[in-house]
Structure formats: structure tokens, C-alpha cells
Amino acid sequence: MDRNIRDADDVLRLLDGLFAPEADRWSEGGADWWDGFYADRSKAVPFFVAKPDESLASYLDRGLIAPGRVLELGCGPGRNALHLAARGFDVTAVDLSPKAIDWARERAREAGAEVRFLLGDAFALDVAALGGPFDLVYDSGCFHHLPPHRRVSYRDLLGRALAPGGHYALTCFAAGGMGSELDDADFYRRGGLQGGLAYTPQSLRWIFADLTEVELRRMRAEPPRSPLFGEDFLWTALFHREPHA
């Protein structure tokens, strides 16, 4: 007989276990799964390209966000982190995969960019030790790989990492475009994430209701020769944390 639940963290870990082995995609054990994903750099994976999100470029060009301290969650090969550094941001970027971080650091050396790339679990970050909270928290493709219960951990991290007056930018699967549209409870009944969770604008507004919406739209599809990354099966959202929050 095993009695292993004493606090909220124990509950979260128990729920993680319902998704094994998929739990490795967001937990500290995720390195092996993601390393396998990033092992072949020649794969036709849209976000392997060395291009920033078109939405990020748009926010910058329109002056919706300004240079400051930024934390990127699930940075992968560093395409957005490098663009932010080139635009004058002080960038800290984290990912679970050693191969992704190695690739990002290679790109940074080639570009002569200064970026602090960290290997590890974003939920375990010591935000204060990293100089946070941050003026911008950026997530392009991390959030939609989390199971429903880990939104609790994600919102807790966002609460610690995002400075009052700062911005949070998200790119995630759009319902009707890509990702599973199962109800939250059905993921636990089936024991899998079905490749990732799709969201509606209403669900994103509800989850991040403590933030002020600046813009929420479909990402603009970009042609192959564009200097920007864009796929219209994604939402792009920019939220603002009020200064008094």
C-alpha cells in the first residue's frame, strides 16, 4: 500500500504519471525524447528554420514591445532568441533538450549573438537568480504540449517570471488548424496528449484572464522565401500584465 500524496506537487506528479511516457515531454526526464526529435536537423520540421515568428517581428516593428529582459520558454534551436538579441533584448532562453541547446548555441556563435541559453526544466527555474522578473516572457510552441493540470505550474511560473508592466507572448495550436480538441477530462481517460492540445481564443482568454489582451489572431502564413516563420494553424497572442498586478 502506497500513500504518496501530501501536497499539490504530489498531485501534479501523480497526474503526470497518467501520461507516461509522454510525461517526459515536459518533465525533467524530457531530454531523451526531445533529443531524438532534434537529432536530425535536416528533417522538414517548420520551426527548424532560422527565422523568427512573424508575430514577434510584427510586435517589434509596431512598437508593441520594447527591448528589455526576456525569458523564452522552450527555445528549441534559438531562432526567436537570436532575433530578440539582435533587436537589443537581454535574452535568457531555456529548453529541456541538450541537442536543441547545442544547436542554439552554435547559431548564436555564428551570429555573434549574446544569449544565455539554459538547459533544464522551466518549471524549476529560480527566476530571481536569473535576474527576473522579466519584461517579456515568450513561448512559441511549449504551452500546447502541456497536459491540462500543468497549466497550474505554467501559470505559477508566469506569475513569478513576468514583471508588472511586462508582456507575455504565446504561439500555440489553433482549434480547427492543428492539435487535439478533446475536452480536458478526456485526456486523462485516454492517457495521452494526442500530439498536443488545440486552443480557442475564448479558452486562451479564460486561462490568462489575469492579463490584459493586446492582440490575439491567427499567425500569418509565410512563403518559403520569407525571412519570417509563419504557419496559419497557430494562434499568436500578446498579453500585458498591468503595472499594479
Average pLDDT over residues 183-197: 90
Query: Taken in order 245, 236, 127, 132, is the CA torsion positive or negative?
Result: negative
- Asked if residues 115 and 78 have their Cβ atoms less than 8 Å apart, the reply is yes
Sheet with 115-119, side-by-side order of all strands: 115-119, 90-95, 69-73, 134-140, 162-173, 234-240, 212-218
Cα 167 to Cα 43: distance, rounded to the nearest angstrom = 33
Domain ranges of the chain: 8-240
CATH 3.40.50.300 fits 8-240, yes or no: no
Q: What is the pLDDT of residues 12-37, one digit of tens each?
A: 988 888 876 655 455 555 566 666 66
- pLDDT for 47 equals 72
User: What is the residue type of 25?
Assistant: R
Dihedrals phi, psi of 26, to nearest 5 degrees: -130, -5
Pairing verdict, β 234-240 and 162-173: antiparallel
Confidence of residue 233 (pLDDT cuts 50, 70, 90): very high
Q: What is the pLDDT of residues 209-228, one digit of tens each?
A: 999 999 999 999 999 999 99
The mean of the pLDDT values for the chain is 91
Cα 89 to Cα 17: distance, rounded to the nearest angstrom = 38
